[in-house]
Amino acid sequence: MTHRLYSNKWGPLPCSAHIPPLLDSLLFPGALHQVVATAGSHCFFLFQELVEGDIRVRFGHFYSREQETFLWLDEPGIIFRFALARSHQLYLSQAGRLLFHERSFNLLHIPYFSAELQIGQQELYAFADIMLPPAYLQRFAAGSPLLTSFLQRVERGLPARLGLYNGMADITLLRWLDALREGQPGSAQQLVRAGLQTLQEKPVHAAVRLNWQEIGVLYQVADLLQQTGKEWELRELVRRFGISAYKLNKGFRQLYGHSVVQHRQEEKMRLALRLVHDKQYPVKQVAAMLGYRSQNFIRAFRRRFGYTPGRHALQLS
């Protein structure tokens, strides 16, 4: 991995393979290379790299105690970028401004990676980059004018993005993302395949039109829904966060593609899919863990995925 990072306040950030124990919770299983760049206790950039066949996967986490702008120099190439946590904004001289909100993704060609990166105060950002050789993408180009045009720009050494607007991850992509983060073999290729299909067949037709303050509130709501087992009612969230029900639902639809209530249900089904896939617990126990009666869980699972959890587990055998 080749990274060079510069801070406006602290200058060059030295890189080290020694990862402080404080960052242990961010480490991924199976990482071949792990590098951290720091400026004392002011900020850190953690990079981890995996290899799967002829593609490389890089996880990045960065944090700063203060609002700061960094210069980030890295290797050029084709990158499938997936934002894991919070929104981050890059400015590249050739490609312009690239803004990624949580769970958004796109396929990019960056011929010269010199980026200005803006980081907010005391926020942890995370992303996954899957580095792809052109030959890997060629196998998907047949019958795809959009991907063919993208590869033509790559051949000419021009910056490119596959989607005019970043894609929005659905539960299928999140399933493969979860598998990738758990180190399951083949998950990176499945994530890329699903992402390419979504960008071409279900393109997003408009940019997210929310200011940073509104986005911050929405992330707080999403965190609350994910971290607690309570079934929050919409009026409780409105009162707790001081935002109208209309703005809350509209914002969630822009960031996540569904309403607040639907988001909670989707997160439940996402966890259900992981638990059934792992086959560590019987279906009845999974249902109880998620607050369902057994038959209600089976119906909810079949309604969302088109098949029962038992059939899904059987297909994995």
Q: Encoding tokens for residue 117?
A: 């990166």
Q: Band the pLDDT of 316: cuts 50, 70, 90.
A: low
Q: pLDDT tens for residues 58-68?
A: 999 999 999 88
Shared fold status for 3-201 and 219-316: no
The model carries a pTM of 0.92
Structural domain boundaries of the chain?
Answer: 3-201, 219-316
Architecture of domain 219-316: Orthogonal Bundle (1.10)
Q: What is the mean pLDDT of residues 150-176?
A: 95
Q: How long, in residues, is the chain?
A: 317
User: Which amino acid is present at 71?
Assistant: L
How, if at all, do strands 68-74 and 160-161 pair?
unpaired
Which residues have CB under 8 Å from 281's CB, separation 6+? 275, 289
pLDDT of 100-146, one tens digit each? 999 999 999 999 999 999 888 888 999 999 999 999 999 999 989 99
Banded model confidence at residue 276, pLDDT cuts 50, 70, 90 = confident
pLDDT at residue 317 greater than cutoff 60: no
Q: pLDDT of 219-228, one tens digit each? A: 999 999 887 5
The CATH code for residues 3-201 is: 2.60.120.10
Rounded Cα distance, 122 and 19, in Å: 20
Model pLDDT, residue 228: 59
119 forms beta bridges with 68
